[in-house]
Every structure is written in structure tokens, then in C-alpha cells.
Amino acid sequence: MVEKWDPRHALFNVLQSFPGEIRNQIFEHCIQDAIESAKTRRTDHLRLQAISYRSSTSKVPSLNVSVFPRWHGPGVMCTNGIGPLPLLFANKQIYGEVSSLVFSRLDSVSIGGYLVQRQDEDPNIRWAVGYSLLNRQPSLLNFSKKVKIQLPRLRKDLSHGYWASLLHPAPSKFTSAYNTWAVVPGLEIFLRKFKQLSVLEVVLSIEEGEPPNFEGLLGLYDSYGKKMTVEFLLPHPLDRLRSADWDDRMSLWSFAWEQCLRENGKI
């Protein structure tokens, strides 16, 4: 019985002899089962969490792809919101057909979450690896309508760890200041590959001090206008000043972004 469900089994090749319409119906049924399976498992998990936290609301995640550039090793691309789908391992042709149908159901693609190690680090090298993973999935680029970008950020505690690993003290005048816009020019070019992009969400990590010069984002805004939104994320707890009112700081950054748009005649 196990052998019959092995995707390498010859019976899987029978699928290729079916007419395309019938084959797609079989694939769609298997994909839907995999999605429902993931929703069931996730709902059960969240229900247990809701009981633990005495909460009655739990949100089931949608089908999405996340691409994480990393400081070491290859980048990572994860598909969330879908269960096991053995058909993907049948053969190259079936993989292409099934993955195309899966990506046609995507709710969003998320790129980023990369933490830089040094203030002078160029994140474009690692982001290029993330782009290469997406380039291998043309159907993903063709069908994705929503893209979420989390721009690279610097965490002081991790940077101190980097210097410690080299047996050197961290710079005495260390700050969390970092050129957040370093990846934006390359990002503008790559986003053109998303044929149906209609929603672009850019996420920035709030830092100490004054808001940055948001003119670094105007190129993206010129390309996408009202399709683009900017969200602000509170930093890691280890990077928060005890005396800082981070809610006020978030309001300040939001105001600075809106003011930048007004001063440049965008709104």
C-alpha cells in the first residue's frame, strides 16, 4: 500500500496520459485537500492557544510564500498554509503543472526579515540570493498579486555578538543607524517581474532617534502609488530603551512618512 502512494511509483506516470482538463481537476482536488489539511491543523493549534490565553479569536493563515535572505548559507523559501503534496515529487513535468496551480492560489509573497550584522554591511548580496529563489518559480512571479517587503534592519545585540565572535570589542560609538534604503534600487527593478502586483506593503523597523529621510522610498511610491503602503514595526525588545515611548515613536515615524509625501507633492 505504501508503495502505491510513493510519488516515484510508475502509477504516477499514468497521470500524464490523461487529458489536460482531467489532469488539472485531479491536481486541483489534491491541492485543495492539502490546503484544508493545513487549515485544520492550524485551527486546532490556535484553538488550544486561544484556550490557554482565554481568547475566543484565532486567525487561520492564508496561503503565502516567504523568502528569507540569510547572513550565512543559502536563502530560504517557505510555502505556508498548505499541507504535504506528494504530487510535487512525481516528476519534473507534474511538478511544474502542480506548482503553477498552487501559486495561482497565493495570497501573498513576503521578502525580507534579514538582520544585518555590521553597520557597513551591504545586504544586496544576500537579497540577490533571495531573488534567485523567486526567479526559479516563474509561475509565482506571474500570479502573485500582493508582495510584502521587510527592509533589512540592524539589531545591536546581534551586532555585538558578531564582534565578539571575532574576539574584537564592538565599536565604542555604536549606534543602530543603518542605510535602510540600500536594497531599494535593486528591489524596484526586481518587483517589475511580478506581472499582477496590485498590493505592495513595505515594513520598516522603528529605531532610536529621529525618523529617517523617507525620500529613499519615493521611487517605489512613484511606481505603485496608492497600491503601496508603509507599515512600521517595533524593534526587538532588547533594542528598546526603557524610557522611550514606542507608541509615540511609531506615530512620529508615520507622520514623517506622510509629511515626506506631502512635501514632494505625492498626496
Candidates 215, 32, 44, 190; CA nearest to 124 is: 190
Q: Is the model's pLDDT at 194 over the cut of 90? A: yes
Q: Rounded to whole angstroms, how far apart are CA atoms 88 and 184?
A: 34
Distances 45 to 41, 61, 88 between C-alpha atoms, Å: 6, 12, 26
Give the length of the chain.
267
User: Which residues, in sequence order, are bridge partners of residue 68?
Assistant: 76
Q: Is the model's pLDDT at 42 over the cut of 70? A: no
**More confident site: 151 or 59:** 151
Q: Is the model's pLDDT at 101 over the cut of 80? A: yes
Which of 52-56, 61-65, 114-118, 137-141 has the lowest average pLDDT?
A: 52-56
Other CB atoms closer than 10 Å to residue 134's CB: what's the count?
A: 20
174 neighbors 156 (Cβ within 8 angstroms): yes
Q: Is the model's pLDDT at 93 over the cut of 90? A: no
Per-residue DSSP letters for 153-190?
EE-HHHHHHHHHHTT-PPPTT------GGGGHHHHHHH
Reduced to 3 states (helix: H, G, I; strand: E, B; else coil), residue 10 is: helix
Please tell me the pTM assigned to this model. Answer: 0.77
Contacts of 157 (CB under 8 A, 6+ apart): 236, 238, 239
Q: Is the model's pLDDT at 173 over the cut of 70? A: no
Q: Residue range 7-32: average pLDDT?
A: 78
pLDDT in tens, 112-165: 877 777 777 788 888 888 899 899 989 999 999 999 999 987 766 556 666 677
- Name the pLDDT band for 191 (thresholds 50, 70, 90): very high
Q: Rounded to whole angstroms, how far apart are CA atoms 13 and 41?
A: 30
Q: Rounded to whole angstroms, how far apart are CA atoms 196 and 137?
A: 15
pLDDT in tens, 197-241: 999 999 998 877 788 889 999 999 999 999 999 999 887 666 565
User: SS3 breakdown of the chain: % helix, strand, coil, rounded to 5?
Assistant: 50, 15, 35
Q: Rounded to whole angstroms, how far apart are CA atoms 263 and 103?
A: 39
